[in-house]
Amino acid sequence: MSDYKSAKEAFVSDNPGSSIYTIIAISSTAWTSYVLYATVNNRFRSSFLLDYLTSAFPLLLSITLFATSPIIYNLSILLISVIIYITSPKSRRQRSRNDKDDKSKGSWLEESDSDEEIAESTSTNNSTNNTPIKLPSQIIQNQNSALTSSYSPNSLLDSPIRLSVEDPFSPIEGNKLNKRKLSPQPSPNNITVNILPTPPSLNAESLSSTGYPSSRINSPSPSLDNTYIDDEKDKKGRLPFLSVYRAHMMIMTVHCILAVDFKIFPRWLGKCENYGTSLMDVGVGSFVFSLGLISIKSLTLVDLTSNINKYPPNSPGTQRKIPIKSNFLKDLIKVIKKSTPTLILGFIRLLMVKGIEYPEHITEYGYHWNFFFTIGLLPIFGILLRPLRKWIRWSILGIGISLVHQIILSKFGLENYLISNSRNGLIGLNKEGISSLPGYISIYLLGLSTGEHILKSSIMNPFILNNKNINETKEEYFKKQKIKLILELFSYTLTWWSILGIYYLFFHLNKISRRFANTPYVLFISSYNSLFLLGYLILEYFFDLKNNNNLLELINKNGLIIFLLSNLFTGLINLILNSIYINNFFSILILISYSFIICIIAKII
Last residue of a domain, one of 548, 563, 595: 548
Whether residues 568 and 519 share a domain: the answer is: no
Amino acid (one-letter) located at 122:
T
Q: Is position 530 within any domain?
A: yes
Query: Which has the minimum average pLDDT: 91-100, 567-576, 587-596?
Result: 91-100
Binned at pLDDT 50, 70 and 90, residue 304 comes out as: low
Which is more confident, 116 or 358?
Answer: 358
Q: Is position 511 within any domain?
A: yes
Amino acid (one-letter) located at 574:
N
Q: Is position 561 within any domain?
A: yes
Query: Which has the minimum average pLDDT: 49-63, 196-210, 304-318, 449-463?
Result: 196-210
Whether residues 368 and 247 share a domain: the answer is: no
Quote the pLDDT of residue 327: 77
Q: Is position 220 within any domain?
A: no
Inform me whether the pLDDT recorded for 62 exceeds 70.
Answer: yes
The residue-averaged pLDDT of 410-417 equals 90
Bridge partners (DSSP) of residue 303 are: 322
Helix extents (H) in 412-430: 414-419, 425-429
Last residue of a domain, one of 548, 575, 590: 548
Whether residues 544 and 557 share a domain: the answer is: no
Inform me whether the pLDDT recorded for 90 exceeds 70.
Answer: no
Inform me whether the pLDDT recorded for 395 exceeds 70.
Answer: yes
Quote the pLDDT of residue 142: 52
Quote the pLDDT of residue 496: 93
pLDDT digits 0-9 by tens, 312-361? 444 444 444 555 566 788 889 999 999 999 999 899 988 888 877 777 77
Quote the pLDDT of residue 541: 84
Q: What is the 3-state secondary structure (H, E, C) of 53-93?
A: HHHCHHHHHHCCCCCCCHHHHHHHHHHHHHHHHHHCCCCHH
Query: Which has the minimum average pLDDT: 3-17, 257-271, 389-403, 407-421?
Result: 3-17
pLDDT digits 0-9 by tens, 243-288? 899 999 999 999 999 999 999 999 899 888 888 899 999 999 999 9
**Residue 29 structural domain:** 18-87+239-269+553-604
Question: What is the helix, strand, coil percentage profile of the chain, to 5?
Answer: 60, 5, 35
pLDDT digits 0-9 by tens, 465-514? 555 555 556 667 777 878 889 999 999 999 999 998 888 787 655 588 99
Q: Is position 573 within any domain?
A: yes
CA–CA dist 492, 463 (Å, integer): 29
Q: Name the phi and psi angles at 231, rounded to 5.
A: -60, -45
The residue-averaged pLDDT of 392-399 equals 92
Whether residues 249 and 284 share a domain: the answer is: no
Last residue of a domain, one of 548, 563, 581: 548
CA–CA dist 605, 190 (Å, integer): 51
CA–CA dist 461, 467 (Å, integer): 10
Quote the pLDDT of residue 461: 59
Quote the pLDDT of residue 168: 41
Whether residues 536 and 574 share a domain: the answer is: no
Alpha-carbon Rg for the chain in angstroms: 27
Tell me how long the chain is: 605
Quote the pLDDT of residue 169: 41
Q: Is position 149 within any domain?
A: no
Name which of 209, 208, 206 is nearest 230 in CA terms. Answer: 209
CA–CA dist 392, 385 (Å, integer): 10
Query: CA triplet 50, 52, 55: central angle to 5 degrees?
Result: 105
Query: Which has the minimum average pLDDT: 55-59, 194-198, 252-256, 587-591?
Result: 194-198
Whether residues 253 and 344 share a domain: the answer is: no
Inform me whether the pLDDT recorded for 174 exceeds 80.
Answer: no
Q: What is the 3-state secondary structure (H, E, C) of 159-208?
A: CCCECCCCCCCCCCCCCCCCEEECCCCCCCCCEEEECCCCCCCCCHHHEC
End-to-end CA gap in the chain: 35
User: How many beta carbons lie within 10 A of that of residue 97, not counting itself?
Assistant: 16
135, 222 Cβ separation under 8 angstroms: no
pLDDT digits 0-9 by tens, 14-47? 787 889 999 999 999 999 999 999 888 878 888 8
Whether residues 259 and 378 share a domain: the answer is: no
Whether residues 474 and 598 share a domain: the answer is: no
Whether residues 441 and 586 share a domain: the answer is: no
Quote the pLDDT of residue 463: 56
Whether residues 529 and 578 share a domain: the answer is: no
Q: Is position 32 within any domain?
A: yes
Instruction: Give the DSSP letter string of 344-364.
Output: HHHHHHHHHHHHTT----HHH
Which is more confident, 548 or 597?
Answer: 597
Instruction: Give the DSSP letter string of 31-51.
Output: HHHHHHHHHHHTTS---HHHH
pLDDT digits 0-9 by tens, 370-380? 999 999 999 99
Inform me whether the pLDDT recorded for 207 exceeds 70.
Answer: no
Quote the pLDDT of residue 173: 41
Q: Is position 215 within any domain?
A: no
Cα 24 → chain centroid: 20
Q: Name the phi and psi angles at 467, rounded to 5.
A: -80, 115
From residue 301, how far is each of 232, 330, 390, 460 by CA, in Å? 17, 15, 7, 20
pLDDT digits 0-9 by tens, 130-152? 444 444 444 444 544 444 444 44
Whether residues 394 and 541 share a domain: the answer is: yes
CA–CA dist 330, 316 (Å, integer): 33
Whether residues 286 and 253 share a domain: the answer is: no
Inform me whether the pLDDT recorded for 233 exceeds 80.
Answer: no
Binned at pLDDT 50, 70 and 90, residue 447 comes out as: very high
CA–CA dist 201, 199 (Å, integer): 5
Instruction: Evaluate if pTM is beyond 0.85.
Output: no
Quote the pLDDT of residue 91: 52
Question: What is the count of structural domains for the chain?
Answer: 2
